[in-house]
């Protein structure tokens, strides 16, 4: 499920007065609208690849405690405590320093993708057509808003048109100030890639589809070891019998 808001550090990293909400970003980057549309993964340094993974996990709804555990790496089994039956107990809760480090890691990736012209113009949420001074720029601008690759243009011409757009004073000024002069609704490139709200996710689980039933079955298995679960882990079970009977 999509997060409903950005932590303070992440919101500030956008450097926009009205940044895209987490759901909009998830629908843009977890599955790009076209192959290499934003080119966000090309020639990334190892550290930035790590930052991207952490950011994508967070966008997909992974609990921050779980992400921090992955960032810690493999636990030292020699030091990890066990219960009375010899089973390893959960790792300790994330410290404040670890949470700060997590948010700074994601903020670094936000600053990185805001340096990608197509993504920056989408995130700005402004009408970019007034910056178009020729047909090629207009074609690229339309493709950005529609989430299409500019297949009609040769690659180099498309790149030049994107560069002319993002460096045009009309766009450059808005990105520098963080203020969209002509706000428009951002394109939701991949609707439904993640649930926008908890209510929609709960409704889907209650419908009793095959996928929802599989999730419920796995939760029942996990609940057998509830004593060793971290306190933040939630495994709700839903009665789908009425839905299936009515269907």
**What distance in Å separates the CA atoms of residue 239 and residue 216, rounded to the nearest whole number?**
10
DSSP state of 129: G
Contacts 24+ apart (CB under 8 A), 228-234: 228/83, 228/87, 228/88, 228/89, 228/90, 229/90, 230/65, 230/90, 230/91, 230/93, 231/93, 232/63, 232/65, 233/63
154-186 pLDDT tens trace: 989 999 999 999 999 999 999 999 999 999 999
* pLDDT number for residue 247: 43
Instruction: Supply the DSSP symbol for 82.
Output: B
- Taking the complete model, does pTM exceed 0.75, yes or no? yes
Q: Token pair of 64, please? A: 């921050």
Q: Where are the domains of the chain?
A: 8-78+90-177, 206-246
Stronger pLDDT, 104 or 237, i.e. the higher one: 104
CB atoms < 10 A from the CB of 74, how many? 6
Alpha-carbon Rg for the chain in angstroms: 22
The residues, ordered by sequence, that sit 6+ positions from 93 with a Cβ below 8 Å of its Cβ are 65, 230, 231
User: pLDDT class for 245, splitting at 50, 70, 90?
Assistant: very low
Per-residue pLDDT reduced to its tens digit, 61-108: 999 999 998 888 765 556 666 666 766 566 667 788 889 999 999 999
> Sorting pLDDT into bands at 50, 70 and 90, what band is 187?
very high
Q: Quote the pLDDT of residue 228.
A: 75
């Amino acid at each position: 499920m999509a997060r409903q808001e950005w932590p303070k550090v992440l919101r500030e990293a956008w450097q926009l007065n009205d940044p895209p909400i987490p759901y909009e970003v998830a629908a843009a980057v977890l599955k790009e609208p076209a192959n290499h549309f934003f080119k966000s993964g090309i020639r990334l340094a190892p550290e930035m690849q790590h930052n991207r993974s952490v950011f994508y996990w967070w966008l997909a709804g992974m609990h921050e405690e779980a992400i921090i555990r992955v960032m810690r790496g493999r636990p030292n089994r020699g030091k990890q405590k066990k219960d009375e039956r010899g089973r390893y107990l959960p790792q300790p809760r994330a410290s404040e320093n670890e949470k700060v480090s997590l948010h700074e890691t994601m903020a670094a990736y936000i600053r990185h993708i805001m340096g990608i012209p197509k993504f920056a113009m989408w995130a700005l949420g402004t009408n970019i057509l007034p910056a178009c001074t020729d047909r090629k720029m207009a074609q690229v601008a339309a493709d950005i808003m529609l989430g299409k690759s500019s297949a009609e243009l040769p690659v180099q011409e498309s790149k030049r048109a994107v560069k002319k757009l993002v460096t045009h004073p009309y766009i450059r000024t808005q990105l520098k100030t963080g203020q969209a002069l002509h706000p428009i609704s951002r394109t939701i490139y991949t609707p439904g890639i993640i649930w926008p709200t908890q209510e929609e996710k709960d409704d889907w689980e209650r419908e009793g589809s095959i996928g929802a039933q599989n999730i419920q079955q796995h939760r029942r298995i996990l609940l057998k070891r509830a004593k060793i679960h971290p306190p933040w882990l939630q495994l709700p079970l839903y009665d789908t019998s009425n839905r299936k009977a009515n269907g």
